[in-house]
Every structure is written in C-alpha cells, then in structure tokens.
Chains A and B, each alone.
Chain A
Amino acid sequence: MSDFCMPSLGADMEKGTVVEWLKKPGDRIAKGDVVAVVETQKGSFEVEVFEDGVLSEIVVAVGTEVPVGAVLARIDSGEVATVPASAPPQAVMPSMPAFKPAVVPPPRPAGERLRLSPAAARRAAELGVDPRGVVGSGQGGAITLADVEAAVAKTARAAGGKTRRGFDPAAMRQAIAGAMARSKREIPHYYLGLPIDMDRALKWLAAENARRDIENRLLVGVLLLKATALALKDVPELNGFWIDGEPRLSSAVHVGWAISLRGGGLMAPAIHDADGKTVDQLMAALRDLVVRARTARLRGSEMTDPTVTITSLGERGAERVYGVIYPPQLAIVGFGAVRPAPAVLDGAVAVRPTVYATVSGDHRASDGVSGSRLLVAIDSRLQAPEAL
C-alpha cells in the first residue's frame, strides 16, 4: 500500500484542489495513468501515478483544497508498504457549495448608486476589476466578495476559449510574481548574447517544407529547440537544478517551452528528452503542448520536469530577450525574432536572416564561459540543419 500525494507542480505551489477524479476505488491503474485533475494558481493539471496497482481508497474529496504532500488516495501495489503512513490531510479550506440567489435582482436604474459590499469593493480594487455589471447576490442585490470572484473566474473562462476548468488570471499573476521575484532575489543571473546567421537553416527549412503537406510543415522554432537540446548535451552544466545549495545536473534534457496564454499569463511545460526526438516528433509535441496548455490539459509532470527553459518570441516582436530563470532551473535560453540584419561575411557587409540568441545563467552553478560555449554550440548546430 502506498500513498498518492498532492504533487508540487512548481516552485511556487503550496496547495491545490482536486477538481476531478478520473479513477474510482477498485480501478486498476498503471504507471503514467492520469488519475486526477488538480487545480492550482496556475490552472488545472492532469496528475498521473508512478506505479502500477489498484486504487484502493480516495482520501480527498473533489473540491477540497489541501497542501502539497497531503495524501490524496491510497494505491494497493500488492507489496508491503515502504512509504510511512502520513497524517490525514488537513483541509486548508473546504470549498463553498455553490448557491444561487433566489431572485436575480433587476438591473439597476441608471444613476442609482452601486450596491457594493465593503469586502467586495476591496477585492475588486485588488483585482483591478470594474464591479459595474457584476450581478449581486447579497442584500438588495448588493455585490458581495464572492460575486466579484465569480465574475472574474467567468471572464477568465470566456477569455480562455475552450478552457473547461477553473483558471484564475489573477491567481496566475500571483504565481508568476512569486516565482519571478524568488528568481531575482535568489539567483545571481549572468547574461550573454550571440547573433546567429539563419541563412542555411531557413533555406533547409524552406526546401523541407516545400515537399511536405501543410499540416506536416516545420516551424523555425523547432530547429531552435532541437539545436538547443543538442547543445546542452555538450554543455551539461546549464541543464538541471539548483537544490539545497548545489547544482544537480540532469542527464536527460527536458526542455520547458514558454507558452503565453490567451487569458493572460505564461507556462513552460516540458518536452521530454528533446535531444533524442526527431524534428517531426518535436513539432508534434510542440503543437500538442500549446493546445493543451491553452485548454488547461497539461499533466503535472510536465510542469515539474523541465531541466531548462526556452523562451522564443516567434516571428514578430523584439530582437532579443534576456529571460528570468525559472527556479530551481539553472538557465533560460532566449530567441528573438528572425529578421534581416547586417552581417560581416568574408570582410564585406551582407544582409542575412539573423536570430539573436541569449542565455541567462545561474552564476552560482556555472560561469559565463559555459554560457558562451552553449551559445556557440547552438550556433554551430544551426549551421548544419540537416543533422538536426
């Protein structure tokens, strides 16, 4: 018997809410099966198990918020327990049962003063929300704190398109704020940059795409991804985590790919073993990841596994980006837009398609010379696109 616990889906996560059980007691489960959906400040994630067995007991009911590490369910693996029994999870906050006002108040006549409870007014100000238009459920149709929060959640769902589960942009902003403030507080960053000539890579890409169906075409981002993953095998000191005061390098390269969300906010879920995947596999993985990130269908492990992050601004936008490292990772690699730029070739100035690559490194774990070697390695990989 072992415990299935609330996972930590990021450095900034303290607690989570089970919003759905996908397995029931008695179900057989295999390693990698998704058993539950957990909601955090960063949205909802599918959480998988890491062993085979039978789900014997669900400990935490849907809607209950518990701290990281709390036992969610018990798995009978057919072996003698090796995990010490934990204390039962302490509910942080039982979720409120939804209730509707018995009567929906009629729209307020123009000019009438807004009936807004003091607590709701303060929350609306904190969230930067205009309370006009929020339907009140309180006395005389007054808008309560819960009404404000429900309206914000509804707006976020609408903005997220097909997002089927809770996503709170204010909470995500808080989560990003926490992680980024921690990064800048704790991690002494160094920054390096290198313009990379993309002429050969783009020509190879154009030729490759010319013989492909539209749906199988490759994007330049996938070349940057593969080149970076391979370069990290050459410069392993930038791939891994800073834990307990020392670097823990990773032999696997799981690249976190930064994805901006339409409702606001940012995620960087993992593409596992990116160095070993073909460009076609990476392209498929990237497409899948973007869709799932934007519909809140990511898995918990995808949030915790990245050993490095890439932030790529795509075809429009700024020329260069110096990223903030996502703790406890050791580095973040940035790519600006690919654009024509003057370059010196054979002693003459020529206009070449150029991408400005950067690396932000954790100076506790590595020195600038490593970051410099990484950029040079990325450059040399991109000069041989056919080998990617």
Chain B
Amino acid sequence: MSTAPRKTTYREAAREAIREAMLRDPRVFLMGEDVGRYGGCYAVSKGLLQEFGEERIRDTPLSESAFVGAGIGAALGGMRPIVEVMSVNFSLLALDQIVNNAATIPHMSGGQFAVPLVMRMPTGSGRQVAAQHSHSLEGWYAHIPGLKIVAPATLEDVRGMLWTALEDPNPVLIFEHVQLYNMEGELSPAAGPVPIAGAAIRRPGRDLSIITYGGSLPKCLAAAEALATDGIEAEVIDLRSLRPLDDATIMASVARTRRVLIVDEGWRSGGLSAEISARIVEQAFYELDAPPARLCGVEVPIPYPKHLEDASVPQAESIRLAARALVRPA
C-alpha cells in the first residue's frame, strides 16, 4: 500500500474512521436515523450497510430519546455504540438521556458502570437548512460534567478522534460542522487515532491569539493569512476539546501575544466564548494588554436566506476586522 498522502474529504475521513473502528472491534456498531439505506443525511455512512450488514449499521425509528437511550444501554452492556443524531437541534429530544443518564450513571453508580458511548452530530450553519437545523449548541453540552465534548476541525482529527473516543470510558460527543464535510485535503493512508484532549496551535503568531474550533477554524486561518499581509501575525488556536478546555495552551498563548479574540459561531450570551473569556481574565489578567474580545453568532435564530445566514455568523472578513481593531485600535 502506498504511504503517499492522498486527496480526500472530511466526509470520507469520517467514514474511514467508522470503518476502521468497525473492523478493529466487533463491539462497535453505528445507529441513527437514515444511517443505513440512505447512507446518512450528510452521506458519511454511505456504503457501510453493504459492507457490514444490518446488525451493525442500524436504521432507527424517528425517536432520539429512544435510540440514544438504547445506545446508553448498549454501552452499559459492554458494547461500543456510535450513535449518530441527524442534527444537534434534534439532540434536544434526547437531552434527558444525555444529561440525566449518560453523564450521571458513572457517578450515580459509584463508579461501577462506565458509559463508553460515542455520539456524533452535525452542527452549525451554512447549508441553508434554516433555524431548526443550523444551530451551534455544543457550548451547551460543554456545560455538563460527565461528558467529553470534541470538535474535529481537520481531516486528521475527524479521522483520528473517533477511535480514541470509543476507548474512553466516558460518554464522548463529537461535533462535526456541516460546512466541513466537503473540505478537501491530503491525508496519509497511515493516519490513525489522535488524542482527544488538548488544543492545537494551527498557526503561530505574536500579535494576537485567535481562539476558535470546528467550522470557524478555516475562516480564522483565512483571516490570519489576510492579516499577515497587513503585518499582523495572528496565532490561531484550535480548541479541539470543548470539555475539558485546555487552559494551559490558551494561557501560554495569551502570555505571548497579550491580546485575544475568541471566535465562536454559537451565541454570545452564556456561551462557550464567555467561559473562555472568564478563564483568561481569571488566570491571565496580568498578561493582557486589552480586554478579551469575542466574535460570536448574532443572537437570532439562524436565517434561511443565504446572505442573512452568512451575516449571522463570523466570517473570515469580520474576523479579520475584529482582529485588526484589537491590535491597531483606531
């Protein structure tokens, strides 16, 4: 087999991760709405039913509470379920299972039961599927002790985080941004599991830190590229894990750059960006040359028309302008 990197997409890398897990561990199975015959609403699981059969690629009834609960039960029973929810908005129907059961059973059982459940769900806007399919609610889940929340934003991460999540005895929620599925890039055929803990510096810089995750990462990197032509070197941090947060990487970066912009497609009030901002002020106040700045989604339901949808979340140009204002105030 050639070891040269080959062209692939985020979608294919996500599928390859599921295939590898199915091949490596017979306890792994995939379950969710339309994951089998239809191939997944974002076509991630296309072809897997033919390869692995109905026992392991299971189409479920339209009841998130039921099939997420079944996934929890399977995990308690020794299986390694991957439960796909069609959109983070629909996962609200399973909130009771996720928050009251998955996150608490290890605690309530005094550590006697682990819940090695992995849930995958698309999140975010940009596909013109309007306000009931486009929100970014991962910040909510990052509020819940007992859950681990990850957001792969690169081909390597979406390829490598799933297996590590399945190995974890805690429930892990993987959020895949809908705008990333078509992202193309090169991936080594040898690409394998990666740690799910810890943030990554995707671009080093000295003038400010841009902290982001998921679907906003490519936009931040594009903004950093544009800023560089203006003589501003932005450091871009990909959080990767939203719970727990990697405080050490964040604070070390802020100590170098002294200015920070947090970019989060989720809403501002009570959001993940607020948590990060608070931690920076608590832990790195004396490193700062300016108050931490946030660029978040506008606090409206995500609109359907493309121009309004685009305007409702951070884009490369608005990120560039916010960063510039922070480094060179008028």
Contacts and interface: CB of A to CB of B under 8 A. Distances in A.
B195 interface: no
Interface stretch (B14-22, B243-251, B265-273, B282-290): B282-290
Contacts of A120: 289
A118 B330 contact: no
B329 A119 contact: no
Given A96-B206, A119-B258, A144-B258, A101 B289 contact: no
A122 interface: yes
B253 to A, nearest CB: 14
B61 interface: no
Contact of A139 (B231, B258, B287, B329): B329
B231 A117 contact: no
Interface string B283-309: 001111111000000000000000000
A99 B207 CA distance: 12
Given A101-B328, A138-B329, A119 B231 contact: no
Interface in A92-117: 94, 96-97, 99, 101-103, 117
Given A97-B231, A99-B231, A119 B287 contact: yes
Quick one: which of A117, A122, A144 has the most chain B CB within 10 A? A117
Nearest to B281: A118
B322 to A, nearest CB: 12
A151 to B, nearest CB: 15
Contacts of A117: 258, 288-290
Interface residues of A, number: 21
Contacts of A144: 258, 289-290
A101 B330 CA distance: 7
Nearest to B232: A99
A94 B233 CA distance: 12
A255 interface: no
A102 B324 CA distance: 12
A84 interface: no
Contacts of B206: 94, 96
Nearest to A143: B289
Contacts, number: 45
A112 B243 CA distance: 42
Interface string B199-229: 0000000100000000000000000000000
A145 interface: yes
A65 to B, nearest CB: 13
Contacts of A118: 285-289
B69 to A, nearest CB: 49
Quick one: which of A138, A140, A146 has the most chain B CB within 10 A? A138
A186 B104 CA distance: 60
A370 B290 CA distance: 61
A140 B329 contact: yes
Contacts of A96: 206
A142 interface: yes
Nearest to A142: B290
A155 B95 CA distance: 62
Interface in A52-86: none
Contacts of B286: 118-119, 121-122
B234 to A, nearest CB: 14
A309 B288 CA distance: 44
Contact of A138 (B231, B285, B289): B289
B330 A102 contact: yes
A344 B328 CA distance: 74
A139 B288 contact: no
Contacts of B258: 117, 119, 144-145
Nearest to B325: A139
A68 to B, nearest CB: 23
A368 B251 CA distance: 54
Nearest to B327: A99
A119 B256 CA distance: 11
A21 B249 CA distance: 38
A95 B11 CA distance: 42
Interface in A14-51: none
A117 B285 CA distance: 9
Interface in A118-167: 118-122, 137-140, 142, 144-146
A117 B329 CA distance: 14
Contact of B330 (A94, A99, A103, A121): A103
A94 B204 CA distance: 13
Interface of A: 94, 96-97, 99, 101-103, 117-122, 137-140, 142, 144-146
24 contacts: A94-B206, A96-B206, A102-B329, A102-B330, A103-B330, A117-B258, A117-B289, A117-B290, A118-B285, A118-B286, A118-B287, A119-B258, A119-B286, A119-B289, A121-B286, A122-B286, A138-B289, A138-B290, A139-B290, A139-B329, A140-B329, A142-B290, A144-B290, A145-B289
Interface of B: 206, 231, 258, 285-291, 326, 328-330
CB-CB nearest 8 A-B residue pairs: A144-B289, A117-B289, A139-B329, A118-B286, A122-B286, A118-B288, A119-B289, A118-B285
